[in-house]
Homo-oligomer: A and B are copies of this chain.
Amino acid sequence: MLPLSSTGPGGTSLLTALFTSTSAVCVTGLVVVDTSTHWSAFGEGVILVLIQLGGLGIMTFASLLGLLVWRRLGLRSRLTAAAETKAVGLGDVRSVVRGVVITSLVFEAITAALLAARFALGYDEPWDRAAYLGLFHAVSAFNNAGFALWSDSLTPFVTDPYICLPVAFAVIAGGLGFPVWLELHKHVRQPRRWSMHTQMTLAATAGLLVAGAVFVTANEWSNPGTLGALDPPGRLLAGFFHGVMPRTAGFNSVDYGAMRDGTLLATEILMFIGGGSAGTAGGIKVTTFVLLFLVIWAEVRGDRDVEAFERRIGDRTIRQALTIALLGVAAVVASTLVLLEVSEQTTEAVLFEAVSAFATVGLSTGITADLPASGQLVLTALMFLGRLGPITLVSALALRERPTLHRLPEGRPIIG
């Protein structure tokens, strides 16, 4: 980033610029300098553009890859109305880009309007400043980026539903993913025509939102450092907010450093699972998680096939889900080991940071800026890997599916 991006006289180190740019373009939201004080208006603008480009880019890229996989496998695509071919042409790209841009702008505009009105009317901000704040946080929310223009994220608004609810709404909308919105747009009144992907994403998102909100609310209810300091309606709002944010927006309205250990562990699980495919959320994605869950269910029932929503899930799809999840675990564990070597932080804090970076969440117990340069580089790499890894890996795996000419006899090791 250019020197004029920062406010102070010292400028910005190359590492800080690299870390912040990666965090913005990967819509993660981890920061090593305070966004509100370190960057000039120009620097904030650069971050905003990077977030928007990062969000649009990932949605377009993932949607096109999904389309390519579906085409190649001869499955009916619902992403475009084009005739079925095995290639993805320029027309598809235009159509997807247009859809992604329109979807993003609509949600961001609604959210920005709601937030701007509240900043102007509730906090006496001048209209131009209120509009800027509304726009910045709407883009940051819909793209699940989690960058905020206050040093302590959205903590000043912990009990204000007119700020927290629009932000949560935009976060959830962005996290569902473009294919889901496209299908809802086309067949909103005909749930029977929704694809398995849409049904699975909606059901899993609802389940994880409820589970996360209930757990956080219950576990932090009497913690004076977090929800315990609020009145009961405020506790409910903040509990809901922090059930939504790990998936994978990364705003916070109470201090994660003061959260109970159980809440941090539950948050790590929610972060790792993440949101919907081909959206702005990170993690291994809810569909991957649900597939693994369905395998267990099918095994316990003794079923030959893994089934859901009146469809059978192929063994290759299951193996791909397993591969994504295990490589995700491996990336997080390996990064945690390296971070433990290069820093003096506890396993708890470092693991939280690694999951947060991998799932492009951006929540932190506050140690990011204290990590040595090598640690910040590990997180930078992890953000890239977490952002692009699952999407490209699963597409590569799906496209490499090929039949074999001969099969070996089956062997059966004893397991368990």
Question: How far is it, in angstroms, between the C-alpha of A262 and the C-alpha of B269 when the chains are bound?
Answer: 21
* Contact residues of A between 190 and 227, Cβ < 8 Å to B: 195-197, 200-201, 219
Task: Specify which chain B residues have a CB less than 8 angstroms from the CB of A346 in the assembled complex.
Answer: 261, 346, 348
Which partner residue on chain B sits nearest A67 by CB separation? B414
Verify if A185 is at the interface (C-beta below 8 Å from B).
no
Verify if A337 is at the interface (C-beta below 8 Å from B).
yes
**Interface contact B314-A300, CB-CB below 8 Å:** no
B interface footprint on A326-348 (CB within 8 Å = 1, 0 otherwise): 11000001001100110000111
CB distance from A234 to the nearest CB of B (A): 23
Question: How far is it, in angstroms, between the C-alpha of A3 and the C-alpha of B341 when the chains are bound?
Answer: 48
**Interface contact B408-A327, CB-CB below 8 Å:** no
Verify if A256 is at the interface (C-beta below 8 Å from B).
no
Question: How far is it, in angstroms, between the C-alpha of A407 and the C-alpha of B305 when the chains are bound?
Answer: 8
How many of these chains are in the complex? Answer: 2
If A299-B320, A300-B323, A320-B299 touch, whether A308 touches B411 (CB-CB below 8 Å) is yes
Task: Specify which chain B residues have a CB less than 8 angstroms from the CB of A264 in the assembled complex.
Answer: 347
Which partner residue on chain B sits nearest A337 by CB separation? B262
**Interface contact A391-B416, CB-CB below 8 Å:** yes
Question: At the interface with chain B, which of A23-31, A119-127, A280-288?
Answer: A280-288
Verify if A14 is at the interface (C-beta below 8 Å from B).
no
**Interface contact A397-B312, CB-CB below 8 Å:** no
10 of the cross-chain contacts (CB-CB < 8 Å) are: A62-B414, A262-B337, A265-B347, A277-B414, A295-B323, A296-B322, A306-B319, A315-B318, A317-B413, A346-B346
